[in-house]
Amino acid sequence: MRVLSGIQPSGRLHIGNFFGATRQHLEMQAENDAFYFIADYHALTSNPSPTEIAQYTLDVAADYITLGLDTDKTVFWRQSDVPEVTEFTWLLSCVTPMGLLQRCTSYKDKVAQGFSPNHGLFAYPVLQAADILIFNSELVPVGADQKQHIEVTRDIAVRFNNAYGPILTIPREHIIESVAVVPGTDGRKMSKSYGNTIEIFEPEESVTKKIMRIVTDSTPVEEPKDPERCNVFALLKLVAQPEELAEWQGRYRAGGLGYAEVKKRLGELMVDYFRPYRQKRAELEDNPDYVRQVLAKGAERARAVATETLARVREAVGLGGHYV
């Protein structure tokens, strides 16, 4: 099955990215025809500096390669290296009702968070639809908060097919539900925009210090605690073995447990979890040309698919010369 997902280059991956999406992407590539891209066009909606977007793209690519991306099997590329997507976005825009975009909650949420309401942010779902549809994607793994965008993609594809014939594959979403929202150090969803992240490959000492600063409630040490309402325990569930996790649950409920003890153990487990990948990540840091080569190779493979789809679409709408 053709699986597609995009990753925004907004900085190095943090553990929320990994447990919320990256790990599932890497697992899905084994049994599927996986297409994964670095969404640098999408990142432009927040107006990053040219230096930032270039470096973040390499960082995210190196992180994925380090964590187990199969560079031979999986098609992995930089979005802007497949320019056919932008032409296709315009063609899809011409069948997309304004009302469909106005109903998208993600735009309203971003504006409420202080993002500048530019056209790119408003039209983001159309570019996302082009990303998905131009590669004949069948399955799109997303978090529950992205479900509406896939529904918009399906709506756009149906409208196009109704107007021009059964050309575009209608995708379906694969909601990633195996992991709950990963809390950041302040208790909110881990996000770079909140400044509450723990990066996968930041120095181990820094990881430990950030974990010790995770926000907890003021329940006294001697009192019982509810593990399911604790930010530290939510992260512990990601890296602890079931037997150890059960022991911590019992200690929470019995009372007499201080949060500092749990944080210390969480820091040890989190560092140990990613330690095997650190050497390879350091090697890629010193060899950015290899990362660029992987992205260039992926772009060639992605363009081969995109150009075929775009040719069919151009022909269908009357731009391919058939009607002349």
Helix orientation angle between 259-285 and 204-212, rounded to the nearest 10 degrees: 150
**Euclidean distance between CA atoms 56 and 205, whole angstroms:** 23
The strand pairing partners of 7, in sequence order, are 38
Which of helix, strand or coil describes residue 217?
A: coil
Q: Is 225 among the catalytic positions?
A: no
Based on the number of CB atoms within 10 Å of its own CB, is 123 exposed (0-12), middle (13-18) or buried (19 or more)? middle
Q: Which of 147, 189, 264, 297 is catalytic?
A: 189
Residue at token pair 């793209």: 57
Q: Which of 73, 108, 110, 147 is catalytic?
A: 110
Residue 7 φ/ψ, nearest 5 degrees: -125, 120
For the record, the structure tokens of 167 come out as 């050309």
Nearest to 78, CA basis, from 311, 301, 312: 301
Q: Is 297 among the catalytic positions?
A: no
One-letter identity of residue 21? A
Q: Which of 192, 237, 280, 297 is catalytic?
A: 192
Q: DSSP strand E in the chain: where?
A: 2-7, 33-38, 75-78, 139-142, 172-175
What's the CA angle centered on 306, arms 10 and 128, to 5 degrees? Answer: 40
Q: Is 108 among the catalytic positions?
A: no
Which parts of 143-258 fold into alpha helices (H)?
147-164, 204-212, 231-239, 242-254
Query: How many CB atoms lie under 10 A from the CB of residue 94?
Result: 10
Residues catalogued as catalytic: 110, 189, 192
